[in-house]
Amino acid sequence: MRDRDVIQYCMDSLGERGADKSQVVWKETEKHEINVDNDEISLFRTTYDTQLDLTAIEGNKKGSTSVNKTEKPAVDDAVERVFQLVQTSSEDEAYDIAPKQKPQSFSTGPAQPDPDRMYGLLDDFLTGLDKTYPEIRLIQSVLDFERTTERFVNSNGVDFSTEKGVYHIFLWFASKDGEKTTSFNGIQLSRTELDQDLMELDFLNDSLRESVEHLDARPLEGKFTGDVIIAPQSLVQLVHIYTSLFLGNQALISGTSRLQDKLNEKVASCRLTVHSKPTSEQICDGYFVTPDGFAARDVTLLEDGVLRSFLLDQYGANKTGKERAKTAGGAYVIDAGNQPLDELIGSMDRGLLVNRYSGGYPSSNGDFSGVAKNSFYIEDGELKYPVTEAMVSGNLIDVFREIGGISQERVDLGTAIMPWICSKGVTISGK
Amino acid sequence: MLKAELRQYADLLSDYTELRVQKNTSKRIALIKGNLAQNDQSSSSGVSARVRKGGSWGFASHTEITDGSVKKVVESARDNAEFLDSRLKRGRSAFESTAPESADDFSSDKPRLSQKQVMDFITDIDAHIAKNYPDLADRRISLRSLDMEKSVLNSDGARRYSMVPRTNIRVSLTLSPAGEPVEVSENFGGLGQFEDLFGEPGDLSEGIERIYEHLQKKAEGVHPDAGVKDCILDADLAGILAHEAIGHTTEADMVLGGSVAGNYVGKQVASELITLVDFANTCLGELCPVPIFIDDEGTKAEDVVIIEDGILQKFMHNKDSAQRFEAAPTGNARAYQYSDEPLIRMRNTAILPGESKLEDMISSIEDGYYLMKPSNGQADTTSEFMFGVVLGYEIKNGKLGRAIKDTTISGVAFDVLKTVSMVSDDMSWSNGGFCGKKQMIPVGMGGPAVKCRINIGGR
């Protein structure tokens, strides 16, 4: 069946079977991917996938299923399975689907990949690497183009269509010189155009240079309380953990969030403003429709340190009595600060520049500890040397509360825009 | 077509080609404090082909499994291989041809339970916990199952059919002393379908009581004293150390990428007490959590002895890396979805048991920690690793002391393993683990308890 036919067929089938409310999401994905393994272009991969997600609610009971087929027998099986799930569901008045909204079509990014440009970009990058950073080994790196076509329909009259094309660049590397080897380092970017050579990306060049410098890294000695400058890719990781631990459905429904009753209260440094901007032109790899069927909006989560929004979806909002967030999270943007990065480093007495955080998932109270990878020891305002075996530990709420400065510079990752932030009072321990 | 004969397509496979038809079926149920937060099932199936031309690979997949789509993916994969080969012109030689065959079906012979019966089982467990542990701040019970069914044919004539299911129930309990949530979790189940793994809900009561006892102690737990300490890593932590910190560095693609293990073959990299193996399917006479008999390239899966008596021996290979190392492929090439290409993946990685008793190991430590359960773990090319630890106890003067709060351990695995001074005489497997390396894949990790010196995070 074609897309329009299969969606209507599913909606009709769910309605005929007695669903009070029903929802169908059809998605087609085409991916073209070139892989690099061990400094060699190794594989060209093309995949076509279809996904059909069906949800039915009947008598406050809910079932969901997905299948990657659109032939009638497979769709009939999926409809049957949804109602088996409905019948075994417990009743919950919080189950619902999105209300009627104005039908909209969204479109972003190119419709077709440029395989020759994809190949050329990687080939030029490998040549440039060999010349500029011969110690770098590129491992399992990928450049792909993903084109998705999606339609979201429900029985309240929601009808959203999205067409999106985006390139993903995932470069994973380490340095090796004789018997010396460094930790992994890497960058992950999204772009709608491949208009810039990879070697021209400052952020990538910095990461490559730092990787090579790490060939002479030494173990950090001792234990002290100091400052940490958290680099953009580590920062976005911590923001995702923070929002999940304190602002999301699970934490608020179970009541384990430490920010449960802190809406419109100051919970972080007044220097910190965090947005979720899935529809902004600033973010090339965002989204237009939330997984529960609302047109997404850009939302400020923390404004000058004040909590302005949780990240509850419709179910979480119904369950907790709090307001539904107009975003499904992600696409995070942190406002730039007023100090150059060099000045942030220059103002530190003792601490670390943390380029990658490799840590255990923090406990629900926000306590974390992990290894500061690809990181540098800072003393008396200077980057002294690259370190290994350096652990950082503290509490995530404190990290965002005790911010000593935010850089003017930011990095556009395509899925997020992040500065460097300096946080005080973190436990740093070495050998 | 999954169980059907793929040999009808043999004539389509002109260059070295793998043809695979695969279906993954998963089920997820989650109860949070008695609320049904998740109740869904999904399936994903399709056909893929991978073609090698002059050393360059092309891959293509499609959701439809028909004569037409099989032909289309083979042609598309060949076109992709030619796209690269026409530019790269590597001219690498063909693989040595082998054609093993196997059919391995681990699905249940018992009548399948209905969705309602499974749901009743989960809600009975929740009701038991709600009734018997009323002071909990939170309780979560989740069911996750994944059935992976594959048929593989390669152009050498190797054939494989396999159905490898895994089913886990995870129970997480939370107390909130003074408003600070503290959680302990445990995974039940492993290889097999629900009917073969779970009899009655009451069978889990003993395990749930064990979780609660640990939780009560952890609620009064202390931050460990940060620094390098004598520690005992229990089986789950020894397993994750074997997998994350050593295993990944000895995957041949990681070695080609500069892994530190490339320097160490034939050298002493660990205490003589350490023997570490990636088992294909059977360990010490028992079936492993993820039994692989032929991999997704059509290679017969062999055990890989990575470290023997402390000496680094071998790496794990697919066909490509084996050719480059002039070694034999080991059957480690595996793919997660039908639309994924096979990568070098571990299967069941474990440290072998030693001769010590756990109680003697504990009594040998004056000031250290007994670390029992990991959360997640990461490692890299240097073998430097980090694991979250979510359950552990102090050891003071040879006796277990207070529980510790969540923490992290880290170190350089090849250094840590040299400090191993005792290895327990038993072993167990962690049956619920997934490994992420471009794609996810189910893996088994196991081991005995090992005594070593390790850096522990804290305050």
What would the two tokens of residue A221 be?
Answer: 């000695």
Total domains present in chain B: 2
Question: DSSP labels for A31-54?
Answer: EEEEEEETTEEEEEEEEEEEEEEE
Task: Give chain B positions within 8 Å (CB) of A431.
Answer: 228, 455
Which one of B159, B190, B219 terminates a domain? B219
Instruction: Determine the distance in angstroms separating the CA of A124 from the nearest CA of chain B, rounded to an integer.
Output: 13
Half-sphere exposure of A32 (CA within 13 A, CB side): 19
Residue of A nearest to B88 (CA): A41
Q: Do A364 and B458 touch (CB under 8 A)?
A: no
**Residue A337, pLDDT score:** 98
Tell me: do B185 and B290 sit in the same domain. Answer: no
Q: Do B388 and A361 touch (CB under 8 A)?
A: yes
Half-sphere exposure of A375 (CA within 13 A, CB side): 32
* CA–CA separation, A243 and A274 (whole Å): 11
* CA–CA separation, A205 and A243 (whole Å): 30
Residue of A nearest to B123 (CA): A90
Domain span holding position B129: 6-219
What is the average per-residue pLDDT within A317-345?
A: 97
Instruction: Determine the distance in angstroms separating the CA of A416 from the nearest CA of chain B, rounded to an integer.
Output: 21
CB B46 within 8 Å of CB B71: no
Tell me: do B155 and B258 sit in the same domain. Answer: no
Tell me: do B371 and B263 sit in the same domain. Answer: yes
Task: Give chain A positions within 8 Å (CB) of B406.
Answer: 360, 362-363, 367, 369
Q: Integer distance in angstroms from the first to the last C-alpha of chain B?
A: 58
Q: What is the pLDDT of residues A179-201, one digit of tens each?
A: 899 988 999 999 999 999 999 99
* CA–CA separation, B450 and B351 (whole Å): 9
**Residue B4, pLDDT score:** 63
Probe site for chain A from B21, B23, B43, B56 (most A CB atoms < 10 A): B43
Probe site for chain B from A369, A388, A389 (most B CB atoms < 10 A): A369
Which one of B188, B219, B250 terminates a domain? B219
Tell me: do B168 and B249 sit in the same domain. Answer: no
Probe site for chain A from B39, B48, B62, B176 (most A CB atoms < 10 A): B39
**Residue B3, pLDDT score:** 65
Task: Give chain B positions within 8 Å (CB) of A48.
Answer: 61-63
Residue B1 lies in a domain: no
Which contiguous run of DSSP H or E holds residue A319?
A: helix A314-320
What is the average per-residue pLDDT within A117-125?
A: 97
Residue B403 lies in a domain: yes
Decide if pLDDT at A212 tops 90: yes
Tell me: do B171 and B243 sit in the same domain. Answer: no
Amino acid letter for position B420 = V
Tell me: do B168 and B42 sit in the same domain. Answer: yes
Q: Do A371 and B41 touch (CB under 8 A)?
A: no
Q: Do B339 and A371 touch (CB under 8 A)?
A: no
Q: How many CB pairs under 8 A join A and B?
A: 246
Q: Do A41 and B56 touch (CB under 8 A)?
A: yes
Listed in sequence order, the residues at least 6 apart from B326 whose beta carbon sits closer than 8 Å to its beta carbon are none
pLDDT band at A161 (very low <50, low <70, confident <90, very high): very high
Report, in angstroms and rounded to the nearest whole number, the Rg of chain A calculated over CA atoms. Answer: 24
Instruction: Determine the distance in angstroms separating the CA of B164 from the nearest CA of chain A, rounded to an integer.
Output: 20
Residue B452 lies in a domain: yes
- Superfamily of A3-215 according to CATH: PmbA/TldD superfamily (3.30.2290.10)
Tell me: do B267 and B206 sit in the same domain. Answer: no
Task: Give chain B positions within 8 Å (CB) of A91.
Answer: none
Q: Do B59 and A360 touch (CB under 8 A)?
A: no
Residue of B nearest to A35 (CA): B57
* CA–CA separation, A226 and A425 (whole Å): 5
Task: Give chain A positions within 8 Å (CB) of B408.
Answer: 359-360, 369-371, 391, 393
What would the two tokens of residue A159 be?
Answer: 């009808």
Task: Give chain B positions within 8 Å (CB) of A142.
Answer: 438
Residue B303 lies in a domain: yes
Per-residue pLDDT of chain B (459 residues; tens, 9 = 90+): 566 679 899 999 989 999 999 999 999 999 989 988 888 889 999 999 999 999 999 999 999 999 999 999 999 999 999 999 999 999 999 999 999 999 999 999 999 999 999 999 999 999 999 999 999 999 999 999 999 999 999 999 999 999 999 999 999 999 998 888 899 999 999 999 999 999 999 999 999 999 999 999 999 999 998 889 999 999 999 999 999 999 999 999 999 988 999 999 999 999 999 999 999 999 999 999 999 999 999 999 999 999 999 999 999 999 999 999 999 999 999 999 999 999 999 999 999 999 999 999 999 999 999 999 998 777 888 898 888 899 999 999 999 999 999 888 988 999 999 999 999 999 999 988 899 888 999 999 999 999 999 988 766
ipTM of the complex: 0.91
**Residue B289, pLDDT score:** 97
DSSP-derived pairing of the beta strands A185-191 and A159-177: antiparallel
Among candidates A40, A92, A183 on the partner chain, residue whose Cβ is nearest the Cβ of B36: A92
Q: Which residue has the tokens 């470290």?
A: B307
CB A160 within 8 Å of CB A288: yes
pLDDT band at A60 (very low <50, low <70, confident <90, very high): very high
In our burial notation (b when 16+ CB lie closer than 10 A, e otherwise), range B53-62 reads bbbbbbbbbb
CATH code, domain carrying B142: 3.30.2290.10
Listed in sequence order, the residues at least 6 apart from B120 whose beta carbon sits closer than 8 Å to its beta carbon are none
Among candidates A63, A181, A360 on the partner chain, residue whose Cβ is nearest the Cβ of B387: A360
Tell me: do B25 and B47 sit in the same domain. Answer: yes
Residue of B nearest to A141 (CA): B438
* CA–CA separation, A397 and A242 (whole Å): 8
What is the average per-residue pLDDT within A362-387?
A: 91
* CA–CA separation, B355 and B421 (whole Å): 11
Tell me: do B111 and B251 sit in the same domain. Answer: no
**Residue B40, pLDDT score:** 87
Dihedral pair phi/psi, residue B244, rounded to 5°? -70, -50
Domain ranges of chain A: 3-215, 217-431
Tell me: do B201 and B150 sit in the same domain. Answer: yes
**Residue B128, strand partner residues:** none
What is the average per-residue pLDDT within A212-217?
A: 96
Which one of B193, B219, B245 terminates a domain? B219
CB B230 within 8 Å of CB B368: yes
Residue B336 lies in a domain: yes
**Residue A254, pLDDT score:** 85
* CA–CA separation, A158 and A316 (whole Å): 20
**Residue A112, strand partner residues:** none
Residue B159 lies in a domain: yes
**Residue B431, pLDDT score:** 84
* CA–CA separation, A103 and A161 (whole Å): 8
pLDDT band at A222 (very low <50, low <70, confident <90, very high): confident
Tell me: do B193 and B233 sit in the same domain. Answer: no
Residue B302 lies in a domain: yes
Tell me: do B294 and B382 sit in the same domain. Answer: yes
Give, in order, the Cα–Cα distances in Å from B108 to each of A279, A392, B193, B444.
47, 47, 6, 20
Residue B306 lies in a domain: yes
